[in-house]
Amino acid sequence: MQPWLLRDTPSALIAVGGGFTIAATRSEVRCDAGGTEPSGCALPFEMKRRVWYRVTLTLGTSVGRAMLSVVPLGRGEAATAETAWTAPPPPVDAPLCIAAAERDGRMRDHFNGRIEDVRVRRLTSLEDAHGSCLAFWDFSRGIETQAIVDAGPQALNGRFVNFPMRAVRGSRWDGTEHRWIHKPDHYAAVHFHEDDIGNAGWGTDLEVPIPDGCPSGIYGVRLSHAGTSDVIPFYVLPPRGKRTADVVFLASTFTYQAYANHARGNLDAAMRERIEAWGTPEGPDSHPQYGFSTYNFHPDGSGTAYSSRLRPVLTMRPGFLTFAGEGYVSGLRHFPADSHLTEFFRRKGIAFDVVTDEDLHREGADLIAGYPAVVTSSHPEYHTRQTLDALKAYTETGGHLAYLGGNGFYWRIATSPLAPGILEVRRAEGGIRAWATEAGENYHALDGEYGGLWRRNGRPPQELVGVGFSSQGLFEGSYYRRTEASYHPAVAWVFDGVDEEKIGDYGFSGGGAAGFELDRADHELGTPDNAVILARSEAHSDSFVVVPEELLSHLRTVTGEPPRDLVRAEMVLMPTPGGGQVFSTGSITFCGSLPWNDFDNGVARILQNVLARFTAGA
């Protein structure tokens, strides 16, 4: 065992039935027999965080003795305690739990840390160091699953509950291999956290039939009770194999899920006042029982690698507020912020179908083939290889793609048919990261593939959409200014009817169309030579910094430009080999400017022009 969170109260390593436990505290390892008569064995021992220990309990029930030993692996001295044992052995027909104990029908005393090589042996004496194997729960087997495999003679297999983290370094890891598939015995540990959550396991109380002919779109079920209401959103796709509009909106459900229940710690007086005044949903800071996002830490300080949609997702609600400070205007991000775009469609009379990232991952390019235009959300950050492949195939066969966000196509994630509803992210190497993976743990458990940035995986966003993440600042926006190249007759149509010198110097997301997270073109990262930079942002505040992957030192960048020069968003139009085009805004706050002045503004006009050209003749 390797504790990552030290407490004065017991954390169960092994529990059998409702009583027998082997547990550890900050200063002690002990075994309790349970039952009505107190019996057990305690060993004072000062635990250290993130140190591996071999814990052995030997029960000599025939001689009435017990021995408990703790051996640090590589650090510190071993300790042993021997005592009388009058209780019977653990019941053989009771459930065995690892990293928690059941008390009064609930799981309690959770262990936060790593466990591997759980073994039970039959010994001939207290001094017998080997004995015969009765059970060996070998966590190096089935790492891509949630199965617990017993390599012993009785095949007492089990399952993990609530998705503890697999493909993590065990006590045998020595740095000679970084991909768990090649040396699974070096990754024979499982990292348990008390707030892991995979499937809330709620029963079905309500089913909502979707009528035949229901238009594709974004819907919600409103639930009300005792003066409280909630809206649970869902998507209706067009009939399979049929498009009912020229434009299809690709909802960034993988990104919504990665941020699901992101607790920011900003539930201050200003936020509470705004929530009360606007009647918006409460956030995850008020409801930790539903688990947090991949932007949060577990109680033991490790980053959250998994996110499930099989639980209440409080951040995926209409009107959910991310920010409430002055100047943020709407304070919306992700799912609610994308209503700026879908309402633009409605107000401008632009018919659209809806598909989601998960659908695109599962069905591939055929799902969007035939649509004249695919439109992304404001923040399509998280993608699988399958979703990128589908979009690439779409653009290379004549499709038109409008990328209306910033920091898109950035992190690689893993999913698995063995774990429906779960996504995994490993924040490997570079990038602006909420947390960093441990050394040797950059490969996903779910698919065995390397995680981290798509740029580090050889697929920078510039190859797909012409721009990629360059800078991030506070949730505030500035504006674009047209480039000289934008006045060329071949591309000037983008700005028909736009007379703004400062384009997007307004908006509901941070106050401007170019803000928060900014993307720029880079020919060495894949922006094609025939791409045209139409406009470039300027006048960003000092809060904006260059992303880490662009820095070689505090002064030198990969491109050789001064760091401050990389703080920019670039609006790009580029043709694709199949005769289509890609339009990219390079800013996460672009869509927040669409509703300004009742949708009558330069940003809205630009998008109208682009979609009209993309769907012309459809």
Report the alpha-carbon distance of residue 543 to residue 474 in Å, rounded. Answer: 6
Give pLDDT, residue 399: 96
Is the CB of residue 40 less than 8 Å from the CB of residue 10? no
Q: Looking at the predicted structure, is the pLDDT value of residue 335 above 90?
A: yes
Is the CB of residue 72 less than 8 Å from the CB of residue 52? yes
Q: 497-512: per-residue pLDDT in tens?
A: 999 999 999 999 999 9
Mention every residue, 6+ apart, whose C-beta is less than 8 A from residue 553.
none
Report the alpha-carbon distance of residue 315 to residue 296 in Å, rounded. Answer: 14
Residue 357's Cβ-side half-sphere holds a number of Cα atoms within 13 Å equal to 27
Extract the tokens encoding 223. Answer: 């639930």
Q: Where are the beta strands (DSSP E) in 312-444?
A: 352-356, 373-375, 382-383, 400-403, 411-412, 422-424
Beta bridge partners of 35: none
Give pLDDT, residue 326: 67
Is the CB of residue 512 less than 8 Å from the CB of residue 500? no
- Sign of torsion, CA 596 598 600 606? positive
What is the three-class DSSP state of 343? Answer: helix
Return the CATH class of domain 230-410+453-615.
alpha beta
Band (pLDDT 50/70/90 cuts) for residue 282 is confident
Mean pLDDT, residues 65-71 taken together: 93
- CB neighbour burial string for 137-174, b if at least 16 within 10 angstroms, e if fewer: bbbbbbbbbbebbbebeeeeeeebbbbbbbbbbbbbbe
Q: 293-311: per-residue pLDDT in tens?
A: 999 999 999 999 999 999 9
Band (pLDDT 50/70/90 cuts) for residue 226 is very high
Report the alpha-carbon distance of residue 22 to residue 293 in Å, rounded. Answer: 31
As a whole number, the mean pLDDT across the chain is 94
Mean pLDDT, residues 2-14 taken together: 97
Is the CB of residue 311 less than 8 Å from the CB of residue 195? no
DSSP alpha helix (H) spans, 480-586: none
- Taking phi over 0 as left and psi of -120 to 50 as alpha, with beta for the rest, 113 belongs to left
Stretch (H or E) spanning 582: strand 581-584
Closest residue by Cα to residue 333 from 235, 256, 234 = 256
Fold of 2-192: Jelly Rolls (2.60.120)
Band (pLDDT 50/70/90 cuts) for residue 36 is low
Look at 77-86, 372-381, 399-408 and tell me which has the smallest mean pLDDT: 77-86
Q: Where are the beta strands (DSSP E) in 49-124?
A: 53-60, 65-72, 79-84, 96-98, 101-103, 106-108, 113-116, 118-122
Domain boundaries, the chain: 2-192, 230-410+453-615
Mean pLDDT, residues 407-411 taken together: 98
